[in-house]
Structure 1
Amino acid sequence: MARSVPETRDEILAAAAKRFAVTGFKGTSLQDIARDVGCSKAAVLYHFANKETLFTELMAPAIGMLLALDERLLGATGQAAQRDALEGIVGLSLRFRREIALLQGEFPELLQHPAFAHIQRCSDRLRDALAGGSTGAEARVGALMVLAGIAAACAQFPDLDDDELRAALLAVARRALGPLD
């Protein structure tokens, strides 16, 4: 019996996510993904114009939530921005652990791709919000370390459930950033 188009599309996305996590974006070919799904490379290309399009679709929900967080932070300042940024990035990182793992090691290069150009600006604004609006070196460096550390911890500790990891991330980040109130 032939597979339906939606099932194959979902199977391609799932196989691509697994393959990207193991061999990275650059180390994965469309042929690898097709083989994992049990279809032809032409079938993969029927659903996705190229590997970049497939990757962009995998990342779309995470990027959408990042942009929504960025939008919420536009009017916030000081400690309110810091608190909202911290809670927002922890929630986003927990929800998209798999996608973060996909980006490990390839993030700087992927930011050069036009579909991800706005991510660096969002990341910079998030870092600034975590710094609580301070332009001091300690606040800015601390904010960057917290931002990077949250993403790394979500990717590195799949054995921790979301509630346990959320509590740990918030506690450690609050200590690193200082008082949020």
Structure 2
Amino acid sequence: MARAVPETHDEILTAATRRFAATGYRGTSLQDIAREVGCSKAAVLYHFANKEAILTELMAPAIAVLQSLDERIALATDPADAQRVAAEGFVNLAVRFRREIAVLRGDFPELLAQPAFAHIQRISERLVDALAGHPERPSARIAALVLLAGISEACGEFLDLGEEVLRPALLALVTRGLEPVDRPAPPHSSTPVPPIHTED
């Protein structure tokens, strides 16, 4: 017999995560989530206004870390530094939140089109620019996009692999795959060089 109200708010999030991972966000209904919890659909709606609200809360921690990464990239001193910050930051994010990433595999482009996730699309574009290092160069952007997609796919696939194995493997892959950015040469000293005097 279905319970009237789930015991906790988190119980619904846990059930939603399982259903999203099994059948995708689009393929999961509120009734599916309620059935997973063992309650009525009305009980789920008591805690969440709709399915998008469940996803928004589920992804909130990962989104907060992504926004922080975006801020750190903006503070980078040059393109090479921005590329390093973006690469290390995204790998760390992907490894930490790989279960959430696994939930969104296949649905991500459609989700980014939703108003609630519009800012994520803009952050993603800036992330690609930073990883490319040469945003105007097609080959650099292709490498950045392929690596972003590959990292997300790998993290969703290797859910049970230890972080101490997955993180360095991904960082090594990124290092090999991205087009390197040369750091700007240090500015020349403006101090005039004294002339060399020779004996007559």
Length-normalised TM-score, structure 2: 0.84
Identity %: 65
Alignment correspondent of 1:82: 83
Structure 1 residue aligned with 2:69:
69
Alignment of 1:1-12 (within 5 A): 7-12=7-12
**2:94 and 2:176 mapped to 1: Cα distance?**
19
- Structure 1 residue 38: deviation in Å? 1.3
Q: Secondary structure at the match of 1:89?
A: helix
Q: Partners of 1:30 and 1:47 in 2: how far apart?
A: 12
Q: State the partner residue of 1:115.
A: 116
Task: State the shift of 1:177 in Å.
Answer: 1.1
CA distance in 1, matches of 2:27, 2:170: 31
Deviation at residue 113 of structure 1 after TM alignment = 1.0
- Counterpart residue number, 1:51: 51
In the TM superposition, what is the alpha-carbon distance from 1:133 to its structure 2 partner? 3.9
Contact 2:82 2:131 (8 Å CA) reproduced: yes
CA distance in structure 2 between the partners assigned to 1:12 and 1:159 by the alignment: 23
| CA RMSD, Structure 1 to Structure 2 (Å) | 1.7
How far apart, in 2, do the equivalents of 1:134 and 1:166 lie? 26
CA distance in 1, matches of 2:172, 2:149: 15
In proportion to residue count, which structure has more helix?
1
2:15 corresponds to? 15
- Give 2:190's aligned residue: none
Structure 2 distance, partners of 1:6, 1:28, is 18
* Letter aligned with residue 91 of structure 1: N
2: CA distance between counterparts of 1:92 and 1:8? 27
Name structure 2 gaps, 5 residues minimum: 184-200
Query: What displacement does 1:6 show?
Result: 8.5
> Which residue of structure 2 lines up, in the alignment, with residue 169 of structure 1?
170
- 1:29-40 mapped onto 2 (5 Å cutoff): 29-40=29-40
CA distance in 2 between counterparts of 1:99 and 1:162 reads: 15
Aligned match of 2:130? 129
Deviation readout 1:68-94 (Å, 9 max, x if unpaired): 111111122311000100000000001
Q: Structure 1 stretches (4+) deviating beyond 6 angstroms?
A: none
Deviation at 1:109, TM superposition (A): 0.9
**Aligned partners of 1:84, 1:59: CA distance in 2, in Å?**
22
TM-aligned CA deviation for residue 41 of structure 1: 1.0
Aligned residues of 2:132 and 2:179 also touching (Cα < 8 A)? no
**Residues 73-121 of structure 1: CA deviation (Å, up to 9, x unaligned):** 1122311000100000000001111111111111111111111001111
Match of 1:154 in 2: 155
Larger radius of gyration: 2
Displacement after TM superposition at 1:159 (Å) = 3.3
3-state SS of the aligned residue for 2:143? Answer: helix
Whole-Å Cα distance in 2 between the matches of residues 98 and 159 of structure 1? 10
Q: TM-score, normalised by structure 1?
A: 0.92
1:27 correspondence with 2:3: no
Q: Does 1:96 align with 2:97?
A: yes
Q: Name the structure 1 match of 2:196.
A: none
